[in-house]
Chain A
Amino acid sequence: MIKAEKLTKRFGNFIAVDAISFDVAKGEIFGFLGANGAGKTTAMRMLCGLSKPSSGEASVAGFDVFRYPEKIKRNIGYMSQKFSLYEDLTIKENIEFYGGIYGLTNKQIKDKGKELIDMLDLQAEANKLVRGLPLGWKQKLAFSVAIIHEPKIVFLDEPTGGVDPANRKQFWELIYETADKGITIFVTTHYLDEAEYCDRVSIMVDGKISALDTPSGLKKKYNAKDMNEVFFQLARNATRSGD
C-alpha cells in the first residue's frame, strides 16, 4: 500500500527526513514513532502530498507521490494532530461538509452519516454543535469522518494527544475495526504504550529510521521488557532535541 525508497526532505541545509525506506502492507496498522522533531510529521506530510520530497521515491495506494499527488488524495484519509472538525458546525454538518469535499453523493452522505452516527451512538447529539462534545468523542468522530469516503489508507498524526487512557483504548478499538475492513492505518504517536497495539513499528531518530519490526521483535532484539526501553535505547544517542 505504501512504499518509500530513500525518501528525503531537506529544508535548506537541514535534513528533516534522511533517506527513509519502508513498506506497508494492506490492512496493516503501521506505527511511526519518534521524539518531537525526529521528522515523523514531515515524512507523513510527504506521503499525503502536502509536501514535495527533495529526493527518493515513494508510492501511496499504488500512485507515485511525484506524478499523481491528486490520485493519492482521492485514496487517503487524514486526521491531523490538532482536532480536525469544525467546532461551530453540528455533527451532521461536519459529516455533510467532509463527505461533500470527497465528492460523495447526497444519498451516500446520508447513508454513511447515519451509519456513522449509529456506530458512535451519537443520535441525540447529531444536530448539536461539535464544540459541546467531550474530547474523546470528538477524536472518534474526527476519525470516523476521516474514513467516510472509504479510503485505502488513513493517516493519523498523533490522534490521541490529550485524551485520557480509557478513551485512548476505545479509540484504538475503533482503529482495529477499521483495519479489519481492509483499510491500512498509518499512525504517528509518541505514546509508547500505543506502539504495542501496532502490527509493526518504525522508530525515527534524527530523521532516520533506526529500527523497524513488530513490537515483539523489537523487544527481543533490544532485550527490553517494553517499548519504552526499546525507545530509550534508540533515542539516547539522538542529537536533535525536541521543540
Chain B
Amino acid sequence: MKQFINFIKKEFYHVLRDPKSLLMLFGVPIAQIVLFGFALTNEIKNSNIVIVDNAMDNASQQLIYKIKASKYFNVGQVFMNPDQMDAAFKTDKVKLALVIPKGFDNDLQHLHTAQVQIIADASDPNTATTLTNYMTSIIVDYQGQLWQSGGLPYNIIAQQRMLYNPELAGAPNFVPGVVAMVLLLICVLMTSVSIVREKEMGTLEVLLVSPFNPFLVIFSKMVPYIVVSLINLTIILILSIYLLDLPFKGNLLLLYGESSIFIMCALSLGLLISTLTDTQQTAMNTSFLLTMLPTMLLSGYLFPIENMPLFLRIISNIVPAKWFYIIIKSIMLKGLGIQYIWKETLILTGMTLFFLTISLRNFKTRLE
C-alpha cells in the first residue's frame, strides 16, 4: 500500500511539474467552456437591431418598450424612414429590423388585427432564424398582454413554440459535448502519453524489473487522471451553471457515477494505445485519431446522427462518446433517472470491460 501511495505521489509530480500537461488538463476545458459559452451567448444576447416606426402611436411605443426591455436585443435607433434602415444593414452591425406600419394602434383597436414586418440579415441564416423567432415571441407576448387588458380577443399574427429550450440557447447542447470531449482528451491522451513516455525514457523497464506488480504500475498511472478528470468535471459544471446559467435538472451523484464509467472507458483506451505505440508522438496522434475525430463527428454532439447515412449511423454505435453524450444530456438537461438510461449505461460498461480486458492482455503479452 505504501508503495502504491508512493507511486501515485510520483505521478502527481509528473503532472504538476509539466506546464504543458497542466495547460492541457485545466486550461483546455476552461477555455472551451468559456469560449463556447460566450461565443454563443454573445451571438444571441444583445444583438443590434433597429426599428422603423411608421406609426408613432401608443401601441407601437408599448411594443418598442417591450423589445428594449428584452435582453436579446440592443435597440440601436428608432427610425422613421426605410432608407436609414437600409444604410444600417449595410454597415453590417444590425442583424434585424422591425417595421411597424402606419396606423398600428388604430388597426389593433378597431380591427383587432395588425401586421408588422421583421427583416433579418440572413447572411448568417442560423442567427437570422433565431432572432426572428425571438422577435416573434416578443410580439406574441405583447398581444397576449393586450388581450388580458382589453377583454376582447386580439388576432394572433404568428405563432412560435419552442420546446425544452425556449430561449434556443446554445449552452445546454454544447456543455455535455464539452464534458465528453474533455474527459476523453485527458484520459486517453494523457494516460497513453504518460505510459509511453516511461517506455521512451527507459524507466518502465526499471519498474517492471522491480518487485512492484506491473498491473499496479498501470493502475497507479490511472489514479491521478481519474482525480484530475473529476476535478475537471466539477469545474465544467460550476462554470456552466454559474457562468452560462445552464439549468441543471438531474441527479448529481448519478452524473458523477456515469462519468466515472466513461473515465474508466477512456483510461482503458489510453492504456490500449500505450501498449501499441512506442513514441509519445505516435501515442498522441493515435489518441487524436481514435478519439477526438469520432467524438466530434459521430457522437451526435456537433452533427445529428439521425441525418447521417445508414453506414455512419451503424459506425456511430461503436463510439463510446455517443452513449455518454446521450446519458449526460438526459441527466443534465432532461433530469432523467437511471431507469431511462440503463441501456446506454450497460453498453458503456460493456465497452469499458472490453477495452480493459484487451489492453491488460496486450500489456501482459508485451511483458513476456
Chain A 74-94: CB-based contact to B (< 8 A → 1; otherwise 0): 101011111111111100010
* Interchain CA distance A86-B208 in the complex, whole Å: 15
- Is B367's CB under 8 angstroms from A93's CB? no
- Is A101's CB under 8 angstroms from B368's CB? no
Name the one of B2, B7, B13, B211 contacting A70, with C-beta atoms under 8 angstroms: B211
* Interchain CA distance A76-B6 in the complex, whole Å: 20
Question: Main SS of the interface on chain B?
Answer: helix
Contact-residue bracket for chain B: 20 to 34
The distance from the CB of A166 to the nearest CB of chain B, in whole angstroms, is 24
The distance from the CB of A148 to the nearest CB of chain B, in whole angstroms, is 11
Chain-A contact segment, one of B136-144, B170-178, B197-205, B312-320: B197-205
Name the one of B10, B200, B202, B367 contacting A97, with C-beta atoms under 8 angstroms: B10
Residue A48 CB within 8 A of the other chain: yes
- Is B209's CB under 8 angstroms from A78's CB? yes
- Is B206's CB under 8 angstroms from A93's CB? no
The distance from the CB of B200 to the nearest CB of chain A, in whole angstroms, is 8
* Number of A-B residue pairs with CB-CB distance less than 8 Å in the complex they form: 77
Residues of B close to A83: CB separation below 8 A: 201-202
- Is B368's CB under 8 angstroms from A52's CB? yes
Name the one of A51, A81, A87, A102 contacting B210, with C-beta atoms under 8 angstroms: A102
Residue A103 CB within 8 A of the other chain: yes
The distance from the CB of B107 to the nearest CB of chain A, in whole angstroms, is 76
- Is A97's CB under 8 angstroms from B201's CB? no
- Is A88's CB under 8 angstroms from B6's CB? no
* Interchain CA distance A143-B155 in the complex, whole Å: 90
* Interchain CA distance A112-B6 in the complex, whole Å: 17
Q: Could you list some 16 contacts between A and B, CB below 8 A?
A: A78-B205, A78-B206, A80-B202, A80-B205, A82-B201, A83-B201, A86-B203, A89-B10, A89-B13, A93-B10, A93-B13, A97-B7, A97-B10, A98-B210, A100-B7, A103-B2
Q: Chain B residues in contact with chain A, CB under 8 A?
A: 2-3, 6-7, 9-10, 13-14, 17-18, 200-203, 205-212, 367-368
